[in-house]
Amino acid sequence: MNPREKLRRLFDVAIAAADPALCVPPYLPPDDGGRLIVIGAGKASAAMARAVEQHWSGRLDGLVVTRYGHGVPCERIRVVEAAHPVPDAAGEAAALSIFELVSGLNEEDRVLALISGGGSALLAAPAPGVTLAQKRALTSALLRSGASIGEINCVRKHLSALKGGRLAAAAWPASVLTLAISDVPGDDPAVIASGPTVGDPTTAADALKVLDFYGIELPGALRQRLASGELETPKPGDPRLSRSTFRLIASPRQMLEAAAAEAQRLGITPLILGDAIEGEAREVAKVMAGMARSSAQHGFPAGKPCVLLSGGETTVTLKGHGRGGRNTEFLLGLALALDGASGIHALAADTDGIDGSEDNAGAFVGPDSLARARAAGLDPRRHLAGNDAWGFFAGLGDLLVTGPTRTNVNDFRAILVE
């Protein structure tokens, strides 16, 4: 098995560890003969809904919304596809339908919420008095700014009709069980898909601070509503959330542990650097390149052969007009920092199968990447400066294309030191 095949094997095992078909069934509630209302949002929500249908014989209906291309056939639960990461009208309509499904319930009703990464953009119903156009503009500006996912979701929650605990509040007094697949550093329930079923510890004032820090303009009337607290979210301890229960069923840590176990089976020493790594993608790459070089030359922090595994969500501050995502940008930065170092290979990919706005999950890097690029007339520094990592790796034929995986436990990075 060559280095690229080993890296792909580790990635496939990591994805399999977060497969909804395996993760959902053990957490399903007992069937008491009553009706179960299933709602959900996220890149894994359709696959989660199918897993529910396959293991639930009682009365069942509902609706989930997922990203375009991530749907799967379901018989009793309606699946809607919408835009991600910038919301669209289909997401708004689906979110309003979900709101209607959970409104007017009583204490005997049960709601099962299937939540995964991407749900924040897909639950696109704006708060009263906020327009979808305003949400789209702010989301686009935040994505370009380099803001962290926690900061982005803080703003989203305060402009939403369902996020930040509002979905569970709408369902009260029905019981709500949330099964969540985490794609965020730290697995905070209030951050995963902007926490539609849990209390929100952030405030409208925090949202304003994020927008001001990144210099993002707000319409005057919207700023005033945030400043007045009119758009405040339900907080932890809110009585309307008292019948809401949260269960984390898959996480970045679990997928890294699965990959580490597979590495050991292949005779490679695994070292998990962390499952919650954040920061500018190209800067994180420099740090990890240094660790890989140290392992190759000095056997520290791990002796050869070894693989440095990590998860989390880096950011990209857009300054150019190229194509790509945070994983390909990380890899381009890594290739430059390694500068052809012998015996070091890497893969970085988004576990949902889509890195940024393109059709690839990520890409590969090897010791010959820069030499092959120069031979092909590709300037790696120019591509990095223009945020065009996709163009760089497409030119080399080194993109990793998997198609939608229908799960999402954030980014997977593996640096193999032979």
AA identity, residue 277: I
For β-strands 175-181 and 110-116, DSSP reports them as parallel
Rounded CA-CA distance 179/112 in Å is: 8
Rounded CA-CA distance 259/245 in Å is: 30
AA identity, residue 166: R
192: which DSSP letter? G
Rounded CA-CA distance 111/177 in Å is: 6
Task: Give the helix ranges, DSSP H, for 251-408.
Answer: 252-265, 281-298, 326-338, 369-375, 380-385, 389-396
Angle 361-364-366 (CA atoms, 0-180°, nearest 5)?
Answer: 175
What pLDDT tens digit does each residue of the chain (418 aa) get?
A: 999 999 999 999 999 999 999 999 999 999 988 899 999 999 999 999 999 999 999 999 999 999 999 999 999 999 999 999 999 999 999 999 999 999 999 999 999 999 999 999 999 999 998 999 998 999 899 988 989 888 999 999 999 999 999 999 999 999 999 999 999 988 999 999 999 999 999 999 999 999 999 999 988 889 999 999 999 999 999 999 999 999 999 999 999 999 999 999 999 999 999 999 999 999 999 999 999 999 999 999 999 999 999 999 999 998 888 899 999 999 999 999 999 999 999 999 999 999 988 899 999 999 999 999 999 999 999 999 999 999 999 999 999 999 999 999 999 999 999 9
Unique residue bearing structure tokens 């894994």:
44
SS3 state of residue 8: helix
In 10 A of CB 351, how many CB atoms?
30
Domains and CATH numbers, the chain: 3-11+253-417 (3.40.1480.10), 31-250 (3.40.50.10180)
